[in-house]
Amino acid sequence: MPASDVRIALGEPQTIEKVVSHEEAAHEKRNWVRLTFECNNRCVFCLDSDTHDGRMRDRDEVKQQILEGRKAGATRLILSGGEPTIHPSYVDFIKLGKLAGYTKIQTVTNGRLFQYQDFLDRCIAAGLDEITFSLHGPNARIHDALVGVKGAFEQESAGLRRAIATRDRTGRPIVNVDIVINRANVKHLKEMLDLFISWGVHEFDLLQVVPFGRAFTEGRTTLFYDLEEMQPYLREAFEYTKRPGMHIWLNRFPPPHLEGFEHLIQDPYKLNDEVRGRKEEFARLLATGEDLDCREKEGRCRYCYLEQLCNHLYDERDRLAADAVSRVRIDTEAERNRPVVFGGDPASAKRAIHFGGPAEGEAESEKPQKRALPIVGALAAKTHAVKPRTLDERIGAASITCGWIVAPDLARAREAIAAHRALTDVELELGSIDGLLAALDGDHLDGRRVIAVHVKDVADAETLLASPHGFDVVVALTTRTQPWLLAMASPPARLVLRQPTHERLTESASEDVDLPAFFAAFRHDVPVIDVPACVIGRAPRAQPATLDASMLSAEGALEIFRFTRRHIESGYMTKALRCRTCVHDATCRGMHVNYVRAHGYGLMRPIVETSIAAE
């Protein structure tokens, strides 16, 4: 989307240009390929340490993953580890990536080997386009202590400066720096940025320390810090994003701590990469009911960037196990539009095997003790394989009678309705309503009662509201429908408003309305869906517990990549830190993360007991 189309929502042209370019980069199809299970550093915050056994991945195995990713459409190849540069075939893998047709080949490295100009030159000649150096302190004292190797700062700094000099001389490679923010360096962020900028770095990826691997086994009491207490130091670093030509990325930061810098919230699309890197572990959870080895909801999870995704996944898992749903959402095009899944991290398979059962030769008493997944119904009490059920079997088991049918046109919707005879009531969300009114028999379509029709366009809304039918007309609240809504002197009785969600920040910026301003002007008592009570001035319309069939595999099982896609599209909600004081906090979902990334947390104003009494 052109930057000019999102200018109103985000304000500063310079910020908008960066946001648009960052979004395009985040949505680039990338293939992460691990080369090693070994590293020449020993970082105390390493999230990967539980897989390090000193091995190099088999050359043919790596080659296959590189080629398969390109065949699946990936355009960026990222070589990682462990430490990727210590693989004997590292340069050959770069050459292979270039021959395979990747437009960008990137590596994430501690950079120590790049202190040798000959090695750097060979990598650049082979086709290496971008080097991401991991540096975590402004000096040897802090950095070497964090990475566990004396002299590492001197070597890595030399590698970084050689790469910058080569870039300035030849135009390649792109050079950027990763910083894992933790208790030991958070107060030194400005010092670090200033130092690396003085060397010629213009792009930084600031990563929040996460509770995996050695970071939690050895660093839980020394690495993790109070985000609210350290806000002054963090915000000082975030301010650098406002500098011309400076690019700051944030990874794995909890969104509520980024108020004022919401556009820096990590693009939710990157959750696909995170899930891909742990796909076997999630698959084990969904296939057997065995808990994730890292699951500690009241402890470890509160430090984790995946907490909300996991909580949502567990909630869906529990609801399906208990048949605790009363509506089914069926998107007729979900499978047709589903991206090809490829890649992954072999370390995930290692972890799944290690935590799922004893390794060969391991005594049974040494097997890690697991907690059963806390779910209800037939899965409670122990972990075991769960027999998938077809969608119709799930509909029957839960006694679902209402179907929300999302389809491009009436014909496809009717096919879906006919395929599920247990549904007696339907909500329709059609790309085109052509032929709908003519097909209705009263308020019924093919013998099913139509209770709502969802629309996005004013013309469709006017047509349906003018008809003599009794179903709700659910209108998406967008910049296209806003003028029509505000011009209403007396809204029709069947009108319902719904806040849509968007996959991209730029879509949200261009299509969403200023909700507080809209509801300050639109004072009519019209039902509203998916807008917080603090914005509307009253409670939104509650929605039934819904089984989203788009999350299920063809066999009827909850599947992690389908789930993640729907989580990103509609389930990734967030609230401001101050919302904890609101009387609606327990029931309010907040706003979709992309609305917040585009428009900020400012619209969220807690309703507290004193304000209720005043009213």
- Where does residue 580 rank: exposed (0-12), middle (13-18), buried (19+ CB within 10 A)? exposed
Q: Of all residues in the chain, what percent carry a pLDDT higher than 90?
A: 80
Mean pLDDT for 77-87 is 97
Smallest Cα–Cα separation from 282: which of 341, 337, 325?
A: 341
Smallest Cα–Cα separation from 546: which of 354, 401, 388, 445?
A: 401
Please count the other Cβ atoms lying within 10 Å of the Cβ belonging to residue 399: 10
Query: What does each C-alpha distance from 493 to 103, 407, 497, 527 come to in angstroms?
Result: 55, 26, 12, 10
Res. 207: pLDDT tops 70: yes
- Identify the three-state secondary structure at position 558: strand
Q: Which residues of 99-117 are buried (b: 16+ CB within 10 A; e: fewer)?
A: ebebebbbbbbbbbbbbee
pLDDT at residue 15, rounded to an integer: 76
Task: Report the distance separating Cα 271 and Cα 266, nearest Å.
Answer: 9
Query: For residue 517, what are the contacts with CB-CB under 8 A and spacing of at least 6?
Result: none
Res. 574: pLDDT tops 90: yes
- Where does residue 189 rank: exposed (0-12), middle (13-18), buried (19+ CB within 10 A)? buried
Q: Which two tokens stand for residue 432?
A: 């085109």
Q: Which two tokens stand for residue 158?
A: 């030399």
Task: Report the distance separating Cα 120 and Cα 170, nearest Å.
Answer: 13
In a domain, 62, yes or no: yes
Task: Report the distance separating Cα 42 and Cα 145, nearest Å.
Answer: 10
Which residue(s) pair with 331 in the sheet? 406
Mean pLDDT for 225-245 is 96
Mean pLDDT for 59-86 is 97
In a domain, 12, yes or no: no
In a domain, 446, yes or no: yes
- Tell me the pLDDT band of 353, cut-offs 50, 70 and 90: low
Task: Report the distance separating Cα 164 and Cα 196, nearest Å.
Answer: 11
Query: For residue 347, what are the contacts with CB-CB under 8 A and spacing of at least 6?
Result: 34, 37, 48, 51, 277
The domain of 454 spans: 391-614
Q: Which two tokens stand for residue 191?
A: 């010092």
Under 8 Å between Cβ of 138 and 108 = no
> pTM (2 decimals)?
0.90
**Where among 124, 156, 185 does a domain terminate?**
185
Where is pLDDT greater, at 373 or 106? 106
Task: Report the distance separating Cα 66 and Cα 100, nearest Å.
Answer: 8
Taking every pair of Cα atoms in the chain, the longest distance, rounded to a whole number of angstroms, is: 80
In a domain, 415, yes or no: yes
pLDDT, tens only, 420-436: 999 999 999 999 999 99
Go through the chain and tell me how many residues it has: 615
Task: Report the distance separating Cα 219 and Cα 184, nearest Å.
Answer: 11
- Where does residue 431 rank: exposed (0-12), middle (13-18), buried (19+ CB within 10 A)? middle
Mean pLDDT for 393-398 is 96
In a domain, 50, yes or no: yes
- Identify the three-state secondary structure at position 441: strand
Q: How far apart are the first and last CA of the chain?
A: 43
Where is pLDDT greater, at 358 or 104? 104
Specify the CATH number for the domain of residue 75: 3.20.20.70
Task: Report the distance separating Cα 432 and Cα 420, nearest Å.
Answer: 22
- Where does residue 141 rank: exposed (0-12), middle (13-18), buried (19+ CB within 10 A)? exposed
- Tell me the pLDDT band of 358, cut-offs 50, 70 and 90: very low
Task: Report the distance separating Cα 235 and Cα 237, nearest Å.
Answer: 5
Distance from chain centroid for Cα 109: 24
- Tell me the pLDDT band of 357, cut-offs 50, 70 and 90: very low
Please count the other Cβ atoms lying within 10 Å of the Cβ belonging to residue 191: 14
Res. 45: pLDDT tops 50: yes
**Where among 143, 164, 185 does a domain terminate?**
185
Helix H or strand E encompassing 177: strand 174-181
- Tell me the pLDDT band of 8, cut-offs 50, 70 and 90: very low
Res. 77: pLDDT tops 60: yes
Mean pLDDT for 204-218 is 93
Strand locations in 372-502 (E): 402-407, 425-430, 444-445, 448-455, 472-476, 495-498
Smallest Cα–Cα separation from 35: which of 67, 9, 6, 61?
A: 61
Amino acid, single-letter form, for residue 81: G
- Identify the three-state secondary structure at position 8: helix
Res. 277: pLDDT tops 50: yes
Q: What is the mean pLDDT of the chain?
A: 91
Res. 365: pLDDT tops 80: no
pLDDT at residue 388, rounded to an integer: 77
Mean pLDDT for 546-557 is 95
pLDDT at residue 362, rounded to an integer: 32
**Using alpha carbons only, how large is the chain's radius of gyration in Å?**
26
Smallest Cα–Cα separation from 330: which of 231, 417, 238?
A: 417
pLDDT at residue 1, rounded to an integer: 55
- Tell me the pLDDT band of 289, cut-offs 50, 70 and 90: confident
- Where does residue 349 rank: exposed (0-12), middle (13-18), buried (19+ CB within 10 A)? middle
Q: Which residues of 25-60 are buried (b: 16+ CB within 10 A; e: fewer)?
A: ebeebbbbbbbbbbbbbebbbbbbbbbbeeebbeee
Res. 355: pLDDT tops 70: no
In a domain, 452, yes or no: yes
In a domain, 495, yes or no: yes
pLDDT at residue 364, rounded to an integer: 32
Query: For residue 303, what are the contacts with CB-CB under 8 A and spacing of at least 6?
Result: 209, 210, 211, 224
**Where among 162, 185, 208 does a domain terminate?**
185
pLDDT at residue 351, rounded to an integer: 59
pLDDT, tens only, 93-142: 999 999 999 999 999 999 999 999 999 999 999 999 999 999 999 999 99
Query: For residue 497, what are the contacts with CB-CB under 8 A and spacing of at least 6?
Result: 474, 475, 477, 485, 526, 527, 528, 529, 531
Domain count, the chain: 2
Strand locations in 358-511 (E): 402-407, 425-430, 444-445, 448-455, 472-476, 495-498
In a domain, 377, yes or no: no
Beta strand 36-37 pairing with 55-56: antiparallel
Mean pLDDT for 172-197 is 98
pLDDT at residue 338, rounded to an integer: 82
Mean pLDDT for 146-151 is 97
pLDDT at residue 387, rounded to an integer: 62
pLDDT at residue 347, rounded to an integer: 67
